[in-house]
Structure 1
């Protein structure tokens, strides 16, 4: 029998008694003030609420974003002055009650849930004069004054709801989506008019953009009428209720996309002729002079990318660039240079994702960056002579920020701290707000200058973690590499070691939250369960950058094409074999867990490599790729009509009989990303194969367990407890 020791977590002590290796209940006696998983994952979150939707005003003097200063789910609108850093809360939207419902038949519990689970402001945008903003809250549109204490003014209210409001270029009108059509509100006259009259069922207006001269609006429509209607049941009510939604599956007919324009006054949409119905559009970019609209066009097989310039007057298109890439295109960035003479784009033509320039009228590419590292993001400000990018050039597991003159030359590194940078550059190109985080540091907004002085963080703009976060015991990782035994690739990983770690002891190990990019030096909410298992359970916790992680070049990123759950499962097996050779690892007690693709990967490992892992937890797993979206699955596996054997080889439902070890399956029944049917299907296959497993469902929660505040804390406790019950606690 092993005995527990007293473990420090935060600044207090927790005394635990251990009774047996697996399956028994454990006596726990937490002292007052101990951080439990319940406390770590309950709202308001101890790590705070991450600032989101960061947007500069046109004058480069203010940055607006959504945030909750106390760590709650409800986000209000905030603005910070630049460079002073004065932070102002502009809204308190909870003061605005919802529309009363006639004949409201909801129970008191349902009403309470709607109030409790309100996420606050959903979207906002700056006015052209930078003197006010518009936002949407509970489907209504408000105008927000920049003066602190002045309440927002609700200008549009309806039960149906409105979304994606935009100001016209002259600031006199606001356009928005309602009922699948485009509408306009005249701020001067106070009148509303419908601009489009899309009437076919299943067809909706999608993204849209005003022409800079304000004469028309370019928009897309998507026809998904060919998608089947599916049911999402809720069994927790007195009588089962069903939510219906349209959803496409891989191999189904694809939605029909169209691009057109409608006059400012409204009317019939005029269409751009692409010569085909099924394609994908990856963004709009107006030229600085407003004479051309840049369109990134992707064919239905995700392998042919074309840049078109659209004449907004005639709707004629001009092809300026075309590229074919197999197996698919992961990400596309295309921007105009500030003077409009060139296009700035990214490509993986040389095996690494780099930045190129292209004459606006077409011609040959000029490569601006090079080396065995990837550009991870690209930003081109409206003014100035430089662009910004993040890359893996400094370290594969970090994302650093660089500036590069548009005319070429050496790049300038602006980031000085190890970690992960997401930049938002001001329109004049002089200032950069970054969302920065590290493994042990939750994301915060900081201000940098674009230049040599930017190598030092100029100012911290937000303080998101709650005060008690400072008491949480965090750990700095130890980085290492190992070799994938199936193909010899070098795989990067990190491990967290217990505070009183000893090489002379043998510790249990959990490979945590398996997924691509999980060894990167950035914050994740799942680090808290990692810290918890290291502290309380005295485990070693490992994170692995599996195949498909970014920063390692094209071959590595696309390396699981038609090999999902095979090549990356082999990497996890290789990780386990590497760990088993370490003197301080208990080779009989190695577990893993993951969610979504990570849950899928957990199943593929435990069903196809039986006995390698002692215990696994698979949360919201895809179990049959026939059930998932075309936009994701066809890129990685092809379509099932031509690749049925690949689908069987890469889907756990066809390999369930191979399961060995302790397995906990977890799924939210309201999940509309990975449907609950995936877990139901593998449960049936496991029963048929005579396999023992455990199952936990969340009847009223979704993919992220974000519909119920009690779900995520419950799951984190269950994951830790499942490993504890089956793998014990601490070293031998």
Structure 2
């Protein structure tokens, strides 16, 4: 017989002798994380490759500060002075092709040029207005930059500046308007200057300044392009200075959600602006090409993209719907120019997330020619693939003939080359693993890249010939190796962590067999005093035959209580079954506490998790709460069959996406899960954001079936077990409104076996230790009260 516990009224009467004990407590592990020690992040090198900089905290400051280690004094960690830190900041820095020269912007007006080989630097332009986006051209004695929404070119040797574009955001005036304006202004100007001496003197000074500027720049005034109120973005000049390109973005006026802040400092309830809901009109983009030789502007055309009218397969679920044949909307990114400026590519993505095209653009006409089309009936994504207005891994080889990009064409995200002339495509990497952050070496003969080839739960750094070949593994430590290569490419700085050891900084020579030297030792003695578990990674078989990866924490047999807790990570597309220190470190410590108390804990990389390729990633398409939930249920059955877990003593919890799965588990699988804690949960996907949700469930107006079978609020009548909901009231990601609506639904259904904890000062990611402590005391109370025998 199952006993239902009305958690709103229950009094916890618990004998400490009746359960196993732990040296840990919720109050202990949920303190400010500083008690654990200090751990390095954001490592970077000095230009001369002799000093390592990183974020750290040796002095118990309110936040991390910049520290450094000189390679000739590897045992000394020094806090960086503010003056030195400022000198390291290079706004909008760009390197030349040889990486021996660097330009950057100071105070929005000055361009500095550094010779990195000589260690010298000088101001090469002190501009009269704000400027941005400086870039070396193919002839590196010239630099382009943007100012006043136009492009200029600086000659480094002479200091002269040439204005290359003449763009006005106004409307083109008619001839009559021009004459009328000139006559009106002539009378006003002449009379004003006669009457007011100071104004005349200032006007004369302004004219002197203008004469100076005109002496250092020339301008083509014969042609003006009027944008009629549109603001050009992403202005860039082709490396050969023949073409300028820009992007127009037109954002739709989508309605934002208001999130009330009941504890604002003013004492009044204040509304926080938050995101719109899914189904919003996407931002439109168009790329313009400004031909500087022909003095004309035209726009990139997507009309010839193959498959532009293809409709998604899910429409078969709506046989009565009349579908009009029409071209889909497309978002554009680019152009990306070859180093010599002779060629350019543009990435196009359909608004329905089903297609990505990498295209060659004819710079004389704006016509696109597809070089590679990747279609996915679910949605296009994966490491290095990029997003709507992001190209991801995308660029040119030095030969100005091959482009490189990442694609999931094989089922895993790999690195490809494509010859833009012959259209021949070559996979540089292949296998059941994924590639991360590839980049080209200084000598342009090799790739450096990180992959999961050794194991999905490990990351290692490799070197590979530019045109493909055998990869040389350069890291050896088990876990995550987050590498920063020194500018001279002789050293690797490695931010390394393992399952039960937080991140530390290591260094090694750029050789596979070289030994790593540990530079930081950040764990506090208090943190090291507890024997943190190294959870075993297992795989269990799901009902469809898939082998599901999971971390398992097993208790001492003498303490085992037959109960189990399944943890569900957030974000959906995230990996937590791995051999490095988890971003869920609080939950990791809580799992150690639970295991001490006799619980078996399972942490699953369910369908949709990152790190396992395209099919795993898209396993939830059109049904969240489908395979991602059945993986949890199958995991519970695995515990029952193989770990001696009592089927009447299984709980589940998680935050964000994990909270959503917890709700679905309690609403639709009550025979499996007796209790659950749903934290900051999505309760109705029609109320979440567009960028994330429309990928997986399409738009609610287009595919309501997907939303109704994926949203917990439609299944609330199935609640039989014990539910705790916890949510921050100023959550601008998953809004507090989500649990408010679900609460009303539970009230109307007459459910009384649930409770809700609210946190007035917390956003989606909790900050205050008091909030973490309160939340996890409630979670522990829930499991101890409902899963263990009295």
**TM-score, scaled to structure 2:** 0.70
Aligned to 2:761: 700
Give, in whole Å, the separation in 1 of the partners of 2:51 and 2:44: 9
Encode CA deviations 1:206-235: one digit per residue, 9 max, x unaligned.
767786689998665543332113212111
Give, in whole Å, the separation in 2 of the partners of 1:328 and 1:218: 29
Aligned to 1:48: 38
**1:363 positional shift:** 0.7
Aligned to 1:303: 354
Aligned to 1:546: 606
Give, in whole Å, the separation in 2 of the partners of 1:610 and 1:254: 39
Compared CA separation, residues 529 and 628, structure 1 to 2 (3 A): closer
Correspondent of 1:243 among 262, 268, 272:
272
Aligned to 1:488: 545
Compared CA separation, residues 677 and 477, structure 1 to 2 (3 A): same
1:55-454 matches, within 5 Å, as 66-69=55-58, 74-78=63-67, 89-90=79-80, 92=82, 126=93, 169=136, 220=247, 222-237=249-264, 238-245=267-274, 247-259=275-287, 272-274=300-302, 278-281=329-332, 285-289=336-340, 291-309=342-360, 319-331=370-382, 332=385, 333-361=393-421, 363-426=423-486, 430-450=490-510, 453-454=511-512
Aligned to 2:214: none
Compared CA separation, residues 467 and 526, structure 1 to 2 (3 A): same
**1:519 positional shift:** 1.4
Alignment check: 8 A CA contact 1:340 1:360 kept: no
Give, in whole Å, the separation in 2 of the partners of 1:350 and 1:689: 48
Compared CA separation, residues 36 and 142, structure 1 to 2 (3 A): farther
Alignment check: 8 A CA contact 2:302 2:367 kept: no
Compared CA separation, residues 605 and 462, structure 1 to 2 (3 A): same
**1:712 positional shift:** 3.4
**1:700 positional shift:** 2.4
Encode CA deviations 1:334-374: one digit per residue, 9 max, x unaligned.
24334444222222223333322211445121122222333
Give, in whole Å, the separation in 1 of the partners of 2:291 and 2:16: 69
Gaps of 5+ in 1: 1-21, 97-120, 147-161, 190-194
Give, in whole Å, the separation in 2 of the partners of 1:721 and 1:175: 61
Higher Rg? 2
Correspondent of 2:12 among 13, 24, 30:
24
**1:575 positional shift:** 0.6
**1:666 positional shift:** 1.6
Gaps of 5+ in 2: 1-9, 117-129, 161-165, 171-226, 304-326, 386-392
Bigger Cα displacement from structure 2, 204-213 vs 168-177: 168-177
Give, in whole Å, the separation in 1 of the partners of 2:54 and 2:248: 28
Give, in whole Å, the separation in 2 of the partners of 1:484 and 1:263: 58
Encode CA deviations 1:429-468: one digit per residue, 9 max, x unaligned.
5544343222212234433444xx2354534455554453
**1:413 positional shift:** 2.1
Compared CA separation, residues 719 and 680, structure 1 to 2 (3 A): same
**1:579 positional shift:** 0.6
Encode CA deviations 1:283-336: one digit per residue, 9 max, x unaligned.
775534455554432111222212235588987766433332332211313243
Correspondent of 2:775 among 715, 718, 731:
715
Alignment check: 8 A CA contact 2:31 2:769 kept: no
Alignment check: 8 A CA contact 1:670 1:701 kept: yes
Aligned to 2:565: 510
| SS of equivalent to 1:229 | coil
Asked if 1:643 is matched to 2:698, the reply is: no
Give, in whole Å, the separation in 1 of the partners of 2:79 and 2:132: 21
Give, in whole Å, the separation in 1 of the partners of 2:111 and 2:735: 35
Encode CA deviations 1:490-511: one digit per residue, 9 max, x unaligned.
111121233xx11794442211
Aligned to 1:530: 588
Compared CA separation, residues 532 and 703, structure 1 to 2 (3 A): closer
Compared CA separation, residues 425 and 700, structure 1 to 2 (3 A): same
**1:46 positional shift:** 2.2
Encode CA deviations 1:561-614: one digit per residue, 9 max, x unaligned.
112111110010011111112354233222121111111111111111113112
Give, in whole Å, the separation in 2 of the partners of 1:353 and 1:394: 15
Give, in whole Å, the separation in 2 of the partners of 1:174 and 1:462: 42
Asked if 1:602 is matched to 2:662, the reply is: yes
Give, in whole Å, the separation in 2 of the partners of 1:287 and 1:411: 26
Give, in whole Å, the separation in 1 of the partners of 2:28 and 2:290: 52
**TM-score, scaled to structure 1:** 0.75
Alignment check: 8 A CA contact 1:23 1:726 kept: no
Give, in whole Å, the separation in 2 of the partners of 1:595 and 1:462: 32
Bigger Cα displacement from structure 2, 398-407 vs 651-660: 398-407
| SS of equivalent to 2:629 | helix
Give, in whole Å, the separation in 2 of the partners of 1:34 and 1:140: 56
Give, in whole Å, the separation in 2 of the partners of 1:165 and 1:509: 57
**1:654 positional shift:** 0.5
Alignment check: 8 A CA contact 1:76 1:92 kept: no
Residues paired across the two proteins, number: 652
Aligned to 1:590: 650
Give, in whole Å, the separation in 2 of the partners of 1:481 and 1:281: 41
Aligned to 2:218: none
| SS of equivalent to 2:649 | strand
Aligned to 1:101: none
Encode CA deviations 1:240-295: one digit per residue, 9 max, x unaligned.
111234x333222111124458999xxx9986555699533567755344555544
Compared CA separation, residues 410 and 690, structure 1 to 2 (3 A): same
Alignment check: 8 A CA contact 1:622 1:678 kept: yes
| SS of equivalent to 1:228 | coil
Alignment check: 8 A CA contact 1:375 1:389 kept: yes
Compared CA separation, residues 172 and 455, structure 1 to 2 (3 A): same
Alignment check: 8 A CA contact 2:507 2:516 kept: yes
| SS of equivalent to 1:723 | helix
Give, in whole Å, the separation in 2 of the partners of 1:230 and 1:704: 19
| SS of equivalent to 2:416 | strand
Give, in whole Å, the separation in 1 of the partners of 2:718 and 2:272: 35
Give, in whole Å, the separation in 2 of the partners of 1:258 and 1:327: 26
Alignment check: 8 A CA contact 1:439 1:527 kept: no
Aligned to 2:729: 669
Alignment check: 8 A CA contact 1:448 1:454 kept: no
Structure with higher helix content: 2
Compared CA separation, residues 122 and 663, structure 1 to 2 (3 A): farther
Alignment check: 8 A CA contact 2:66 2:79 kept: yes
Bigger Cα displacement from structure 2, 552-561 vs 291-300: 291-300
Compared CA separation, residues 551 and 45, structure 1 to 2 (3 A): same
